[in-house]
């Protein structure tokens, strides 16, 4: 999944003056960076170890296991450059598909292990280039780039109130990491999981969840099927929520799933003690305008007319550009850039920001008028 081409020859550098050389007390990697190009080091180092790098966080696939009819679980061994993650957080993975480097966001489905390995569970999304590639083509020994952890769907050190977890489809993965974290602590606080899937064979971790519910009286799980079984259910509704949490005013709620699922859960959980959610697909655009705006890209010098009713990321892609992105949900900040001038609109809240030289996220921002971007 990761490959490197032979780097272009580079001129032999002149000797570094003694006054400019790193002191001997600095880490070896820091001293090496003063003498060698990172790309050159990485090219030769990978022949010794596939994840040996001067400075890049990389991870090697050490185990692959089926998780459902549409998903696989990968166990990854990161190198020493990766800084770790908390249960419930996401990471960006860089993989190579048909020679093209692509980045996608995936959440950890378990806490980091004592040996440093991490687990992600990837569902093959219809039309998803990277997810289909990972599920069908991932092999032991493959190497991926791994970014820093992000996301706020984490539990406090000492959770006290009852927790209601709502998961739909791939949204089970970060919540499963939280459940496993609490199970390792003896499930110290009541926790209920409502897990929506289309069919039984698309449920991930079903046997483990049933076993945890049998072992811990504090933990309850309810599987809700939307397209199969003796009890097909709507995506999420008030009756289901009442059955899961009759006293929701005493609960804190975490929800994860599609953008539509998350917004429906948010509307139903207004009486909860707290509500936090992440969507693995963009939420519905609630605040858009008609017409076009002129966007100037300062680095390239290009000027484009883009629709004001869609995310800037999508609008730029439709014009043939390829800005960096990860989650496309406003979580990972990979598509963040500086709005040098003009106004942009947050497509979820509807707020307009015209502060100059301010950051914005292309995936959840639209042009509210003519603007200039540092792209």
- Can you give the pTM of this predicted structure? 0.74
- Examine the pLDDT at 46 and tell me if it is beyond 70: no
pLDDT at 52: 52
Domain ranges (residues) in the chain:
1-151, 163-279, 292-373
| 184, 193, 256, 262 from 265: Cα distances, Å | 28, 13, 9, 5
pLDDT, greater one: 12 or 118: 118
Q: Which of 215, 216, 227, 171 is nearest to 194 (CA)?
A: 171
Q: Which CATH number does the domain 292-373 belong to among 3.40.50.2000, 3.40.50.2300, 3.40.50.1110, 3.10.20.30?
A: 3.10.20.30
**Rounded distance between C-alpha atoms, residue 35 and residue 108, angstroms:** 36
pLDDT at 210: 98
163-279 shares its CATH topology with 292-373? no
Q: Residues for the chain: how many in total?
A: 375
**Rounded distance between C-alpha atoms, residue 17 and residue 245, angstroms:** 69
Mean pLDDT (whole number) for 221-244: 81
| 207, 213, 243, 312 from 229: Cα distances, Å | 17, 21, 19, 41
pLDDT, greater one: 333 or 94: 94
- Examine the pLDDT at 213 and tell me if it is beyond 90: yes
**Rounded distance between C-alpha atoms, residue 322 and residue 98, angstroms:** 17
Q: Which residues pair with 96 in a beta bridge?
A: 101
132-141, 199-208, 340-349, range with the lowest pLDDT: 340-349
- Examine the pLDDT at 273 and tell me if it is beyond 50: yes
CA 316 to chain centre: 22
Those residues whose C-beta lies under 8 Å from the C-beta of residue 48, and which sit 6 or more positions away, are: none
Q: Which CATH number does the domain 1-151 belong to among 2.40.30.10, 3.30.2270.10, 3.40.50.1260, 3.60.21.10?
A: 2.40.30.10
**Rounded distance between C-alpha atoms, residue 17 and residue 173, angstroms:** 52
Q: Which of 286, 279, 292 is nearest to 350 (CA)?
A: 286
pLDDT at 53: 56
pLDDT at 11: 37
**Rounded distance between C-alpha atoms, residue 257 and residue 125, angstroms:** 13
At 15-36, the pLDDT tens digits run 333 333 334 444 555 555 556 6
- Read off the pLDDT band of 348 (50, 70, 90): confident
The string of DSSP letters for 185-200 reads TT--S-EEEEEEESSG
pLDDT at 48: 53
Give the strand pairing for 358-361 and 71-78: unpaired
At 51-61, the pLDDT tens digits run 655 558 899 99
pLDDT at 123: 93
- Read off the pLDDT band of 129 (50, 70, 90): confident
- Examine the pLDDT at 340 and tell me if it is beyond 70: yes
Classified by CATH at the fold level, domain 163-279 comes out as: Rossmann fold (3.40.50)
179-193, 216-230, 319-333, range with the lowest pLDDT: 319-333
pLDDT at 234: 58
pLDDT at 266: 93
């Amino acid at each position: 999944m990761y490959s490197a081409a032979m780097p272009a020859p580079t001129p032999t550098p002149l000797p570094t003056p003694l006054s400019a050389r790193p002191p001997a007390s600095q880490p070896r990697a820091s001293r090496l960076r003063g003498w060698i190009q990172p790309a050159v080091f990485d090219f030769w180092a990978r022949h010794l170890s596939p994840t040996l790098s001067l400075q890049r966080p990389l991870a090697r696939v050490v185990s692959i296991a089926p998780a459902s009819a549409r998903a696989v679980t990968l166990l990854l061994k990161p190198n020493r450059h990766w800084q770790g993650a908390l249960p419930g957080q996401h990471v960006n993975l860089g993989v190579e598909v048909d020679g093209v480097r692509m980045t996608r966001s995936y959440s950890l489905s378990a806490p980091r292990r004592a040996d440093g390995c991490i687990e992600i569970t990837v569902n093959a999304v219809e039309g998803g280039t990277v997810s289909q590639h990972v599920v069908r083509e991932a092999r032991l020994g493959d190497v991926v780039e791994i970014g820093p952890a992000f996301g706020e769907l984490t539990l406090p050190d000492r959770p006290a109130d009852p927790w209601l977890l709502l998961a739909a489809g791939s949204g089970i993965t970060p919540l499963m990491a939280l459940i496993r974290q609490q199970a390792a602590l003896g499930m110290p606080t009541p926790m209920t999981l409502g897990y929506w899937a289309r069919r039984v064979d698309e449920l991930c971790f079903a046997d483990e969840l049933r076993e945890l519910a049998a072992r811990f009286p504090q933990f309850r799980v309810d599987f809700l099927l939307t397209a199969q079984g003796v009890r097909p259910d709507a995506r999420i509704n008030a009756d289901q929520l009442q059955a899961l949490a009759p006293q929701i005013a005493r609960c804190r709620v975490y929800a994860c799933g599609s953008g539509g699922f998350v917004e429906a859960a948010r509307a139903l959980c207004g009486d909860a003690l707290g509500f936090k959610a992440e969507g693995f697909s963009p939420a519905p655009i609630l605040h858009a305008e008609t017409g076009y705006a002129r966007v100037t890209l300062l680095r390239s010098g290009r000027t484009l007319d883009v629709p004001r009713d869609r995310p800037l990321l999508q609008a730029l892609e439709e014009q043939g550009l390829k800005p960096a992105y990860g989650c496309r949900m406003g979580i990972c900040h990979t598509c963040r850039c500086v709005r040098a001038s003009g106004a942009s609109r947050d497509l979820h809240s509807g707020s307009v920001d015209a502060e100059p030289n301010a950051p914005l996220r292309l995936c959840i921002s639209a042009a509210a008028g003519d603007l200039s971007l540092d792209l």
